[in-house]
């Protein structure tokens, strides 16, 4: 089972727009990532995303650009400082690949817990980057790749 963590694309500052939608760069970066995932035959059944506008927009763009269109599942509990334990436990039970679109420090902490069992942030996730982890056995995960729009 693989999980693809995606940090939302660049968003407007709260002072400019309190909803914090994606900027044009944020939208372009999400399209670049969607193209990369499609080219590399990445398919997920669902995309779990934060309910915040910037995460939902990123999830919609990426899911819309993939070969097989996954279901987008916005949910509470994925905000920047929410506890990661509930989703970490859920990921341990899933059998099919999934994408999670969210925020920092949430994604850093979640990936750290899966990889090391600690919240020591071994991987930093730039905006709109993808971190792919694979569960190799119960409770054991490995980093397969990380890619950022700037690298593509």
Q: Are 42 and 93 in contact (CB under 8 A)?
A: no
pLDDT tens track for 9-47: 999 999 999 999 999 999 999 999 999 999 999 999 999
Report how far residue 4's alpha carbon sits from residue 127's, in angstroms, rounded to the nearest whole number.
Answer: 14
pLDDT on residue 122 = 67
| Domains annotated on the chain, with CATH | 2-151 (3.40.50.1240)
pLDDT digits (tens, 9 = 90+) for 91-127: 999 999 999 999 999 999 999 999 998 877 667 889 9
pTM: 0.95
DSSP-based three-state secondary structure for 80: coil
């Amino acid at each position: 089972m693989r999980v693809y963590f995606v940090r939302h694309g660049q968003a407007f500052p709260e002072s400019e727009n309190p909803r914090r939608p994606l900027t044009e760069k944020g939208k372009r970066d999400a399209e670049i990532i969607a193209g990369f995932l499609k080219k590399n035959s990445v398919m997920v059944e669902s995309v779990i995303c934060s309910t915040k506008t910037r995460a939902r927009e990123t999830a919609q763009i990426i899911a819309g650009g993939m070969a097989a269109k996954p279901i987008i599942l916005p949910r509470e509990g994925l905000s920047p400082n929410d506890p990661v334990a509930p989703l970490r436990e859920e990921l341990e039970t899933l059998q099919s690949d999934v994408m999670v679109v969210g925020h920092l420090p949430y994604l850093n902490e979640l990936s750290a817990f899966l990889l090391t069992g600690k919240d020591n942030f071994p991987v930093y996730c730039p905006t709109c980057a993808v971190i792919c982890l694979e569960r190799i056995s119960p409770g054991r995960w490995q980093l397969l790749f990380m890619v950022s729009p700037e690298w593509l």
